[in-house]
Amino acid sequence: MASSSGHGPSKKRRTLADADEDVRLYQSRLAEATKKMIVLARENARMKVLLQKYLDKDDTLLSTSQMTMGSQLSQPSQSSTTVLPPVPPPPLHAIHESNSEDQTSSSSSYAVGDAVDSFGGSNSQDCFSSSLSSSMHDEFVFDSQLSQLDDVANTSHLDEILSFLDRQEALDHDRLFTMQSEVATLRESATVPRVGVGVLLYSAAHPSCVLIGVRKASHGAGKVQLPGGHLEFGESWEECAVREVKEETDLDIGDVTFAHSTNDIMPDDDKHYITIFMQATVRDGQVPVRMEPDKCEGWEWQPWEHLKSPAFQARLFMPLRHLTLSGFTPHTVEP
């Protein structure tokens, strides 16, 4: 807050327009974020459904593969562990008879053994070992791929996303309700009369003149006004005059005193103002600057009597027009 002691201007308070703009911006961002989260949730849900089909098939294939592998592994183990029953020794009288037969059958047994070996006894064992090793390798690769698919399915986090959306929606609803309550409070305050402060500036370089500008982007746009603004909470009229002049024109003023007041009802804009007019002197050598180009088209010095002419009356902002019609006469500053 600024004062005549030389402190800088204070921060402007929030207005109804500022609150409305914040609500619109927040609603826009909320809608965009919600839309993106819903799209992401749907994509994750679709991915989970697609992966689930493959995971079900993989579970079936894994069970079948394990059963087949188990049966293959059980066959060689059974053959290797089979114990033949003991053969009773032959009677003594048959030994002599078999000796003659041994010589005859030995040659044939050797031939049969060679035939069996040449038929592929060792080769069949090698093929079985190779098949067993290949099957175990395929099972390992299959289990690895299945594990990767399980990880992909787990990363969808569909339930977490939906839960987050529910929590976020609840929080956003509370925040939006708070902002809407603030806007409603500001709207209610807008239905009661407000206090505005206008400042009549005098300069020795421009005798019998006051500083005026043309309003922009607000109620009364295009009308001629004095520097000024709203009276803030806890602020004196003098402090408000010093602050508003500095914010709008970058001028330092002194000799700030009360000049006049008007009761300004604006039915077209649904507004009601009590306007406090202050008067002050601009220190020598200063030139007004258009500090808020979005609110004012520019500043110029204009003789007070010109403002009272019919041509100017139609151009004056209502509080200033009421002041010129009130019979108030500003004091002059000698050069």
Q: Which pLDDT band, with edges at 50, 70 and 90, does 74 fall under?
A: low
Phi/psi-derived region of residue 324, left when phi > 0, alpha when psi is between -120 and 50, beta in every other case: alpha
Identify the DSSP state of 287.
-
Mean pLDDT of 104-123: 44
Per-residue pLDDT, 231: 96
Mean pLDDT of 295-307: 94
Nearest one of 237, 217, 209, 214 to 225, comparing CA atoms: 214
HSE-up (13 A, CA, CB side) for residue 95: 4
pTM, rounded to two decimals: 0.48
Q: 107-111, 117-121, 142-146 — which one is most confidently predicted on average? A: 142-146
Side chain identity at residue 243, one-letter code = R
Whether the CA torsion 112, 117, 118, 124 is positive or negative: it is positive
19's enclosing H/E stretch is: helix 16-81
Please write the tens of the pLDDT for every residue from 316-331: 999 999 999 999 998 7
Q: Are 196 and 273 spatial neighbours (Cβ–Cβ below 8 Å)? A: yes
Whether the predicted pLDDT of 108 surpasses 60: no
Q: Are 327 and 198 spatial neighbours (Cβ–Cβ below 8 Å)? A: no
Average the pLDDT over each of 34-43, 46-55, 61-70, 281-290 and give the range with the smallest value: 61-70
CA distance 34 to 158: 15
Per-residue pLDDT, 103: 47
Mean pLDDT of 300-314: 93
Q: Which pLDDT band, with edges at 50, 70 and 90, does 138 fall under?
A: low
Higher pLDDT residue, 92 or 239? 239
Whether the predicted pLDDT of 308 surpasses 80: yes
Chain centroid to CA 195: 39
Nearest one of 248, 227, 221 to 317, comparing CA atoms: 221
Q: Are 313 and 233 spatial neighbours (Cβ–Cβ below 8 Å)? A: no
Higher pLDDT residue, 89 or 239? 239
* Diameter of the chain measured on Cα atoms: 164
157-179: b (≥16 Cβ within 10 Å) or e: ebeebeeebeeeeeebeeeeeeb
Mean pLDDT of 233-247: 96
254's enclosing H/E stretch is: strand 253-266
Residue 285 DSSP SS3: coil
Q: What is the mean pLDDT of the chain?
A: 75
Higher pLDDT residue, 29 or 191? 29
Please write the tens of the pLDDT for every residue from 1-30: 444 444 455 556 667 778 888 888 888 888
Mean pLDDT of 270-278: 95
298's enclosing H/E stretch is: strand 296-303
Per-residue pLDDT, 22: 84
Per-residue pLDDT, 211: 96
User: What percent of the chain has a predicted confidence (pLDDT) above 70?
Assistant: 63
Whether the predicted pLDDT of 229 surpasses 60: yes
Per-residue pLDDT, 16: 75
Per-residue pLDDT, 110: 42
Mean pLDDT of 60-67: 69
Whether the predicted pLDDT of 155 surpasses 70: no
Per-residue pLDDT, 88: 54
